[in-house]
Amino acid sequence: MRKRWLMLALTSVFGSLGLAAFTPKAPECIAPAGAGGGWDLTCRSVTQLMFDLKLVPQPFKVTNMTGAGGGVAYANVVTQRNDDANLLVAASPATTVRLAQGQFSQFTERDVRWLGAIAADYGLVAVKADSPYKTMADLVAAWKADPGKIAVGGGSAVGGQDHMKVLLLARAIGIQPRAVKYVPFDGGGQALTSLLGGFIQVFAGDASELRGQVEGGTVRVLAVLAPKRLAAPYAGVPTAKELGYNVDWVVWRGFYVPKNMPNEAYDFWLNALRKVARSPEWAKFREQNSLGEFVSLGAEFQVFIDRQVNQFRNLSKELGIIK
C-alpha cells in the first residue's frame, strides 16, 4: 500500500513539472518547397518510417509550404506555430544558407529549435539524356565560351544552396560568378521538370532527387559534388575533384521544430529521430536513395548549425552574394 501511494505521489510531482509522457496528436511535417525535392523526400520518408516503426500512433500529415526558399514556412512556424508540440519541419543547408544571408526577414537561426539530421545527400551537375554535353569537359568548354548562354537551374532561390553550388563550381572552372545565368525554382522537382522540358540546360541538384531519372535514362549526370564517388547508379560518374575542380557540397537532411515546443515533446521527437537513424529500415532507405550516413542530434546539432551559419555567411560575402 505504501509503495502504491509513493508511486502515485511521484507521478503527480512529475506531471506538475511537465515531465509526463508526451503522445503526438495529429502530427505534421512541413516540407518548405513543392513535391519531388529533397525537403519533400525528407518529410515523407522519415515520418512514414516513424509510423511503420510504431513510434507514433498515427500517420503524419505532410504539408508542402512553398515560397522564399523556405522562408514562408520558417515565418509561419515562428509567428503562427511557435509552441506547436506536433510539428516537424524539413531542413538542410538550403535553410542555413538563407539564414546566413539574412533572407528570412528579421528571423535568425535562434528563432527555432534544431532537432537533428540523419542522412547526407550530395550535390551534382546534370543535363538531359539527349544534351550535346556528353561530359563535364563538354559543358565546361561551352560554359566558358559563353557563360550567359547556358541556363543553370536549381531548386533554391537566388543566393540559396543550389545557386551557391553553381557559383563555387563556376569559380573553380574560371568563370566569374557574376556571369553565371542561374534560374531559381521552388524546389528540385520544379527544376527537374524545367530541365526535362528544355527550359534550362543544366540542373544543379542532389543525388536523391535524380536517382529515378538516372535509372530511367532521362538525365545524364556529369559530375557529383561529393568527397568520393557514389554507389550505383552514380558509380560511373566522376567527382568534381577528380576532374580538377576543388568543389564538393554535402547536404545534410534533417529537421527543426518550433522554438517553444514543450521539452517533453522535443525529447519525444529527438528519441524518435534517433530510433529511425539507428534502424535497419533507414539504412536500407539511404542505400536505395543514394544517401550517405550523417547523424547529428539535439545539442550537438545546435552547435553544428551555429557553426554552419557562420561559415555560410563568410562564404556568401566571399562570393559577393551579401556585403
Fold of 27-121+251-318: D-Maltodextrin-Binding Protein; domain 2 (3.40.190)
Strands of the chain, DSSP E: 28-31, 61-64, 87-91, 112-128, 151-154, 181-184, 202-206, 219-225, 250-258, 296-297
Place of cell 512553398: 66
Of the candidates 256, 170, 320, 90, the residue with the CA atom closest to the CA atom of residue 162: 170
Of the candidates 279, 273, 286, 298, the residue with the CA atom closest to the CA atom of residue 56: 273
Mean pLDDT of 125-137: 97
pTM (two decimals):
0.86
pLDDT score recorded for residue 12: 37
Of the candidates 144, 269, 156, the residue with the CA atom closest to the CA atom of residue 209: 156
Asked if the 122-249 domain carries CATH number 3.20.20.70, the reply is no
The 10s digit of each residue's pLDDT in 20-62 is 489 999 999 999 999 988 999 999 999 999 999 999 999 999 9
pLDDT score recorded for residue 187: 87
Identity of the residue numbered 88: L
CA end-to-end distance (rounded Å), the chain: 70
- Percent of the chain at pLDDT exceeding 70: 94
**Predicted confidence (pLDDT) at residue 6 exceeds the cutoff of 50:** no
Q: What is the mean pLDDT of the chain?
A: 92
- Strand-pairing partners, residue 275, are none
Mean pLDDT of 189-206: 95
Which range has the worst mean pLDDT, 3-7, 72-76, 238-242, 282-286? 3-7
Question: What whole-number distance in Å separates Cα of residue 131 and Cα of residue 77?
Answer: 41
pLDDT score recorded for residue 105: 85
Ramachandran quadrant class, 114 (left: phi over 0; alpha: psi -120 to 50; beta: rest): beta
Q: Give burial (CB, 10 Å; 0-12/13-18/19+) of 80.
A: exposed
pLDDT range class, residue 19, cuts 50, 70, 90 = very low
Please spell the DSSP secondary structure of 142-160, one letter per residue. Answer: HHHH-GGGSEEEESS-TTS
Please spell the DSSP secondary structure of 74-103, one letter per residue. Answer: HHHHHHH-TT-TTEEEEE-HHHHHHHHTT-
- Extents of the domains making up the chain: 27-121+251-318, 122-249
- Quick check: 211 and 36 in contact, CB under 8 A? no
pLDDT range class, residue 157, cuts 50, 70, 90 = confident
Mean pLDDT of 228-254: 95
Angle among Cα 29, 271, 211 to the nearest 5 degrees reads 50
pLDDT score recorded for residue 21: 87
Whether 122-249 and 27-121+251-318 are alike in CATH topology: the answer is yes
Q: Could you tell me whether strands 219-225 and 296-297 are parallel, antiparallel, or unpaired per DSSP bridges? A: unpaired
**Predicted confidence (pLDDT) at residue 10 exceeds the cutoff of 50:** no
pLDDT score recorded for residue 139: 98
Per-residue cell: 300: 550537438
**Predicted confidence (pLDDT) at residue 152 exceeds the cutoff of 60:** yes
Question: What whole-number distance in Å separates Cα of residue 60 and Cα of residue 276?
Answer: 15
The 10s digit of each residue's pLDDT in 105-123 is 899 999 999 999 999 999 9
The 10s digit of each residue's pLDDT in 260-290 is 999 999 999 999 999 999 999 999 999 999 9
Of the candidates 59, 57, 49, 116, the residue with the CA atom closest to the CA atom of residue 89: 116
pLDDT score recorded for residue 15: 37
Of the candidates 209, 106, 216, the residue with the CA atom closest to the CA atom of residue 165: 209
**Predicted confidence (pLDDT) at residue 18 exceeds the cutoff of 70:** no
The 10s digit of each residue's pLDDT in 75-114 is 999 999 999 999 999 999 999 999 999 999 899 999 999 9
